[in-house]
Amino acid sequence: MFPNSFFMVTMSDASFRSYIGIFFVGLTLIGGVGLYITPMMSEIPRVGRALIKAYGKGTPDILLFGDSVMRATRIKRCDTGSSTIDTLLAKELPNLNWVASPYSASSMVVFNDLLPIAMNRPNPPEWIIVPVNMRSFSEEWGTRPAYRLDLDRALIRIKFGKVRLHDYFLVWKYQFTKALDMEMEAWRNQTVAYPDFNLGPRRKLHDKSMDLPKNLDCLPHLKEQYRDVLRTKFIYHYLYRLDPENPLLQSLREIIHSVQQSNKNILIYVTPINMQDGERFVGHKFREIVQGNVGVIQTLVENMGVPLLNMVDKLPPEHFIDQYAVCEHLDETGRRFVAAQLAKVLRSEPFKKP
């Protein structure tokens, strides 16, 4: 009996191991298929490839991270300028070589994932420029499953970093299942409550009653008709209380540490927001809370020996586009202002070519 029982147990264990092996091989194959399908739809791996391509043309002096604020030029019908922040900055400092890495969503964790692609090259950029988008910390943005960018981050690791088996699982999960749809549905069913404001069910904050005319930028006299909607959007996007332990801030710490360890320079700047309209529709509390949140960021970066270029309240309402969305997108005059402020800082620093 013993040999037969032993044989049966051994065969069972072997079969189990075989099934496990087949499962992981299958998962890897599925992930591999997804790996080649998904980049066609995913912007961030293309950003990583663009970084490597830029190095093929020479060593860039400056790496400029960015989000849609850098290149959003598409909506404002009354603004015909199409120059983007990175191209304007290149004109301000024509003797320097640039590489810009913008993508459609702002996430400090993705900047942190992309940074090693540049810093691990033989000649890293002399300067790294990192924007801080205040809306990225909000309930509207910071908790949204789609904006965790799990799939994109997995693709970065697979293509450019230290791949983990779990990354292939993420490719399978988000490419071949409805996991993200289910996570988004659960997210919509949550209640949004900030320390100073209770906005109620999130679903109501995203239904059609919250829609605004897309040409609001060019028709500012219409804003008063939508006072309640604008008030709610400004609260939802900006009036959280920023926790110093926020994961995005931890990524910012890691970015600064990585650049400093490489003995390179880093410039952190806060992108402008429509502060005047925020105060107009919410009241004095708007400025108080936003400035308090910026103060958290300022304390973090200055404690690490890095100055903060704070442009949060430097532009009036007429220089913001896509105002129906209450966001940070700028017209060309606004983008030109941001580029000029960045150039001013870079000119004031002794710059050594690598």
Question: Would you give per-residue pLDDT tens digits along the chain (354 residues)?
Answer: 434 433 333 444 555 455 555 544 554 554 454 444 444 445 555 555 666 665 555 678 899 998 888 877 655 566 667 888 999 999 999 998 888 887 776 689 889 988 988 888 888 899 999 999 999 999 888 888 888 888 888 887 777 777 778 888 888 888 888 988 999 999 999 999 999 999 999 999 999 999 999 888 888 899 999 999 999 999 999 999 999 999 999 999 999 999 999 999 999 999 999 999 999 999 999 999 999 999 999 999 999 999 899 999 999 999 998 899 999 999 989 999 999 999 999 998 755 443
Fold of the 43-143+190-348 domain: Rossmann fold (3.40.50)
Within 196-286, strands assigned E span 198-201, 265-270
The model scores a pTM over 0.85: no
| Contact (Cβ atoms closer than 8 angstroms) between residue 97 and residue 60 | yes
Quote the CA–CA distance of 125 and 353 in Å, as a whole number. Answer: 9
> Mind listing the pLDDT tens digit for each residue in 58-97?
678 899 998 888 877 655 566 667 888 999 999 999 998 8
**How many DSSP H helices and E strands does the chain contain?**
14, 7
Give CA separation, 40 vs 69, 152, 191, in Å.
23, 12, 35
Q: Which residues contact 277 (CB under 8 A, 6 or more apart)?
A: 223, 230, 234, 317, 320, 323
Q: Which two tokens stand for residue 79?
A: 């603004």
